[in-house]
Chain A
Amino acid sequence: MSKLSTKHLLGIKYITKDDIELIFQTADNFKQVINRPIKKVPSLRDITIANLFFENSTRTKLSFELAEKRLSADVINFASSSSSVKKGETLVDTVNNILAMKVDMVVMRHPNPGAAYFLSKQVDAQIINAGDGAHEHPTQALLDAYSIREKYGEVKGKKIVIVGDIAHSRVALSNIFCLQKLGAEVKLCGPLTLIPKYITSLGVEVETNLRKALEWCDVAMMLRIQLERQDKKYFPSLREYSMLYGLNKELLDSLGKEITVMHPGPINRGVEITSDVADSNQAIILDQVENGVAVRMAVLYLLAGKKVD
């Protein structure tokens, strides 16, 4: 097996366990590459990639751009705030215009769920979803699972709790699919207003008590409260949220076992996680970022590796 089962990476839902394992295996090699003095390989030298970000991003955008450059691809960047989208151009028109400049792959972040899927049906280029609304963020889930695999050797059988704003989180959904495909147990924790009503149909359990959830888990994945997506009040105040669902050192130390703390970023220090926890050695937040480049290099390499006609 050396080929992904898919032409695009639209979501974890659409790829198989074998695909995920192939990506991890390839990422191991790239992790070695990015840790040596000369961090660049020439594999994608004849490929042009457009990064289309219709929504703000720091980590994902830089991580993708770095991955592309480390693979020697040509990169063009696009941010909707400074583009003709503001003049009323449609998504398909924008992308087709960019593709007319002979672009091979598109990495896209968009505020609307399903935007990447829609685009893959409309245009003739390989699409990588870098986050579509509250739907999926496949490369984030891959790097999260990769970081768990790196820490524990394997993901299978591990107990992972995802804490916080599940309803507005694409990271949560992609991670549920990814971790389950790899054989992990997933539990969700947060105020019921922030947990989608039928989420248990995905085979996950819901726990409203943070302490119980943490006592159960091996890994706690803390999510940010996405105030920009919240159109109404889901909880009384950030202070109250933080008291009930924020992870602090006292709580972490009182568990009687060592759990691993993860966060997809950006961190709201003092809300979902306190500074001393985020900077402790139980947190692997910066390892996640490092692994992000290797995992994205693997995804780009494997998708680009299909034969050109």
Chain B
Amino acid sequence: MEQHRVILNPTQFQLVIRRLCFELIENYDDFSNAVILGLQPRGKYLANRIALELHKMKAVVSPIQIGYLDVTFYRDDFRRREEPIVPGKTEIDFIIENKKVILIDDVLFTGRTIRAGLDAMLAYGRPEKVELLTLIDRRYSRDLPIQPDYVGKKIDSIISQRVQVKWKETDNKDEVILYTPKLKN
């Protein structure tokens, strides 16, 4: 059995999303040259939520371009895990040449997914600049020198623990939970 602890409850969750949006507004002004890329599968929900919130705040002049990037074919653990991962869908109907890209994922852990994401992104052009936004940063657990520019919440965790981000759209509730496996005596 696993023990679990709520890291962000629905109220805190909403506050964090709004804060992330304010931080983005400070740096991107009216978002005229910015695009949002959510990493499949779970970064998509955060990307959608951030875009929605920015529109609600009337921070953007025209609808912000949003795409979803699947990194499966760029992963470095192909042939090193038991089963190949079933790829998600890449949906990017614009070119990111000279755009400012806000790369979004829900949880930053080892940094390997982001590394793959940076590679995958280059198939769509050379961006002017890329920044990384994550809801949860599991700090001190990076395998690669990758750090986020915008963080919802930093947490200290060990490898055997697991973080789950729940979304209203799919899990009926906005919530972040940290699961800890029970030690065997």
Contact = CB atoms under 8 A, between A and B. Distances in A.
B83 interface: yes
Interface in A231-287: none
A42 B118 CA distance: 13
Given A25-B86, A32-B89, A36-B123, A307 B73 contact: no
Contact of B82 (A28, A36, A40, A307): A307
B81 A33 contact: no
A100 interface: no
A41 B125 CA distance: 14
Contacts of B83: 2-3, 305
A278 B5 CA distance: 64
A87 interface: no
Interface string A63-81: 0000000010000000000
Nearest to A47: B79
A303 to B, nearest CB: 9
Interface residues of A, number: 28
Given A2-B84, A43-B73, A301-B84, A32 B90 contact: yes
B84 A302 contact: yes
Contact of A43 (B78, B89, B90, B95): B78
A2 B86 contact: yes
B74 interface: yes
Given A3-B83, A305-B83, A307-B79, A42 B89 contact: no
Contacts of B88: 29
B79 A305 contact: yes
Contacts of A41: 73-74, 123
Contacts of B137: none
Given A29-B89, A36-B123, A305 B84 contact: yes
B74 A42 contact: yes
Nearest to A298: B87
A111 to B, nearest CB: 33
Interface in A23-39: 25-26, 28-29, 32-33, 36-38
A21 B86 CA distance: 12
Interface of B: 70, 72-75, 78-90, 95, 119, 122-125
Interface of A: 1-3, 22, 25-26, 28-29, 32-33, 36-38, 40-44, 46-47, 71, 301-302, 304-308
28 contacts: A1-B86, A2-B83, A2-B86, A22-B86, A25-B86, A26-B86, A28-B89, A29-B73, A29-B87, A29-B89, A36-B124, A37-B125, A38-B122, A38-B124, A41-B74, A41-B123, A43-B75, A43-B78, A44-B78, A71-B73, A301-B84, A304-B78, A304-B79, A305-B79, A306-B79, A307-B82, A308-B79, A308-B80
